[in-house]
Structure 1
């Protein structure tokens, strides 16, 4: 199994209405909060990567086709999602850090910031995804992760119209997970404004892929691989727990993944080359699980987490001798300071546009094989984010043309068996 190892500006997008006065989200203490209402923001999201990992470098961009985005946005709104995670951006090679951490690389990730910073519904950028996914990576890689986090934060500070949080998404490697958290979230010299410190920490959790609560031995024994085909479709038992007694620490999660790939059965929706889509039973089950959540309770404040400060960086925070205790970070590469000071030349900056088309024109089918009728997005007021039950109700009618001329989009990418990405803010000590 190949795990995506990238150190780049992947991002969170909030599924807010497409109008000019969207209320954005900030980090406050150990929470994401609405910048205007100060309501706590809990992520109900999905990894959105049509085409899989193979799509990178092939001219495939999940956000560039408005017709396909409208189709997917309607299905996501029907689920009650409020966040998507978009990745497949340039990677920093952990096996060749010195040469890949360059001004060319910085120009690329700064260009991503330029392209997205004007959107008020950008929740945050990832400085890395599973860059440290084995014990050996813990020795030399951590300072570079902090260096890229520093560079992104400094660029945002100089060139973005607003502050946008930067975080890290970790692999579920038990031997280095705690040290990764401690190393990336502490404040060098105790400086709470330290730009190299992450503001949120994502955990790509590989457990709980079926209707069981005894996950530790289940995964450790590899029985999960043995009986995967017998625990489908997913029943989403973890939803009530993640958005229940874990909310004092977690800020929600993102389901892996929206798109059904050939290499695994973790997708919610089959996508076809002619634009047709087919909802899987996993989608229906997740929709039912989300519908049981108390959204108002999730939005209520977490007063105990408001004034938490990051600990001062120290070797005492690191438990393993094989993990880096060096908090002296790499300096900017040649040409990096000029990029940081003057910005990317001729940046391509996106902007919000008004919604003029709400009805989905492409055929979409339910898990029962019947075509969904009246599928559409429902624009929200500027002070709202999507919640379960927001989307339009879609009836269904029989159709015999579901797969007429439709060829499944194929991808053989293996990006890991992520079930839920839980966001854990780095201000929690």
Structure 2
């Protein structure tokens, strides 16, 4: 009996010791290392297929060994399998000094803006991911959603996103887990972003607010500038933010090659006092041409074989794509952000004011209660007079029309991140007060809901999803015709 107990204790201690990278903490609007130095994210979006990349120990170790050579200290993984074993990959990341941001939602459990709900199925699924990853000290944060809201009408979903963050924070606390930050990854929609940014952080109860806010922004394209790209407006809207803010996706690829010039601004004097770094989109090269590495030349779209999905090999020895790889390496090596120590830092920013209801722009009242678990699309929105309130938030820094976004847009991807359809993945840049002079062609934000799906679903799955809906639609028509004929 004693030997069995001792063996169990040794196994438990071994599991706790898997990650040697000490946990990060948040104080005010900044991340800090265990030694009290400020932490800035130099990250890469990492999702090879729709499968969990952290469950493939052989491939992830190969990839991590290359990632660390350019100073990568974080990755973002969009969907994981909570039943898989992640010890090898998480340990390899830790040994390389790399933290992981993990999305809690996946294909069937993300919040849908057009019919939002936060239900027990979603709660249970998110909880399982937290259960699977909470013990790794190099988990830097969890996302409860990615680009759920993409226009003013979608703002009805904001309370559900915030409720999901509230409940997942409470779940972790109830289980006695380390306090791992829970946040949200937003699309860069200029008329929506400031209100959403403030809404998710507002209120006197920090338990109801997200712990960090992040942005998927593709405004800075080619040889641009801090002013011309619209980054100056992003900074203006975030300068008084009381929680950490960072770029959860960035790296416009029009034109190519990418020089990643925005990194100099993000880690420079203009923004590093406010922003906590950036995650570059993305690791693997695909049709969308955003990749930093490849595993070999493209194959035919219909090709099959070991590791080949949608015409691209997705396993093997990673090979840097040049000159993009070296350009990013140079930018990160030259980064010298303005930092502070945790001991010397005294946060002074207060939570932003909750944005006021604005017809057609922001459809949530500043005093509207968050939905409880199980409230879905039937959750009624408060009534308002037909007279629109002043545009934007009641906070001076969050006017819905006063911010700017550049004209950078992103084309589609065929992996589990961006959409396989370039028309749906493009981002709007209209309505900005300053714009990028050489951004990619912008598209209407009406396609952004599809883009959100795409960030979760490879093009092969997108096509299958569309075919399934076509079958369902055909079946409904047949049933209707049959029913009419029986009358």
With normalisation by structure 2, the TM-score equals 0.57
1:183 aligns with 2:208: no
Higher relative contact order (Cα pairs below 8 Å, separated by 6+ residues): 1
Please state whether the residue corresponding to 1:46 is helix, strand or coil: strand
Of 175, 179, 182, 1:159 maps to: 175
Partner of 2:319: 278
- Written as runs of structure 1 = structure 2, the 5 A alignment for 1:36-55 is 36-51=34-49, 55=50
**1:91 corresponds to which residue?**
110
Root-mean-square deviation (CA, aligned residues, Å) is 2.8
Q: 1:168 to 1:211 in 2, by over 3 A?
A: same
Q: How many equivalent residue pairs?
A: 299
What residue is the counterpart of 2:223 in the other structure? 211
> Compared with structure 1, are the counterparts of its residues 29 and 78 closer, same or farther at alpha carbon in structure 2 (3 Å cutoff)?
same
In the alignment, the residues of structure 2 paired with residue 86 and residue 327 of structure 1 have an alpha-carbon distance, to the nearest angstrom, of 32
1:241 aligns with 2:265: yes
SS at match of 2:54: coil
Equivalent residue for 1:320? 358
- Mapped pair 1:30 → 2:54: no
Q: Structure 1 regions of 5+ residues with no counterpart?
A: 1-17, 218-227, 335-408, 420-429
Structure 2: gaps spanning 5 or more residues: 1-16, 80-105, 232-251, 296-312, 376-412, 420-424, 428-438, 440-487
Counterpart-to-counterpart distance in 2, 1:327 and 1:229: 40
Residue equivalent to 1:333? 374
Change in CA separation of 1:93 and 1:303 when aligned onto 2, cut-off 3 Å: same
DSSP-derived class of the 1:63 partner: helix
Aligned counterpart in structure 2 of residue 288 of structure 1, from 330, 340, 343 = 330
Q: Structure 1 38/186 Cα, relative in aligned 2: closer, same or farther at 3 Å?
A: same
Q: Render the CA deviation track for 1:24-55: whole Å, top value 9, x for unaligned.
A: 11110110112x3111111111111112xxx1
> Is 2:265 aligned against 1:267?
no
Supply the distance in 1 between the matched residues of 2:65 and 2:426 (Cα, whole angstroms): 25
Are 2:211 and 1:199 aligned?
yes
- Counterparts of 1:28 and 1:243 in 2: how far apart (Å)? 19
1:276 Cα deviation after fit: 3.3
Partner Cα distance (1:50, 1:417) in 2: 21
The CA distance in 2 between the partners of 1:83 and 1:115, in whole Å, is 19
Runs of 4+ in 1 over 6 A off after TM superposition: none
Residue 146 (structure 1) aligned to one of 151, 162, 166: 162
Counterpart contact for 1:29–1:309, Cα < 8 Å: no
CA drift of 1:171 comes to 0.6
What is the CA-CA distance between 1:327 and the residue it aligns to? 2.7
Q: Distance in 2 between matches of 1:44 and 1:229?
A: 18
Deviations 1:234-291 (A, max 9, x none): 01111111100201110111111111121x1111011334513221011111111111
Whole-angstrom CA distance in 2 between matches of 1:237 and 1:137:
32
Task: Give the Cα–Cα distance (whole angstroms) in 2 for the partners of residues 95 and 77 of structure 1.
Answer: 40
Partner of 1:379: none
Deviation per CA, 1:194-217, whole angstroms, max 9, x where unpaired?
Answer: 322011110111211212223359
Q: What is the TM-score of this pair, normalised by structure 1?
A: 0.64
Matches of 2:417 and 2:31, distance apart in 1: 32
Q: Take 1:123 and 1:30, find their aligned partners in 2: how far apart are those partners? A: 15
Per-residue displacement from partner, 1:353-399 (whole Å, max 9, x unpaired)?
A: xxxxxxxxxxxxxxxxxxxxxxxxxxxxxxxxxxxxxxxxxxxxxxx
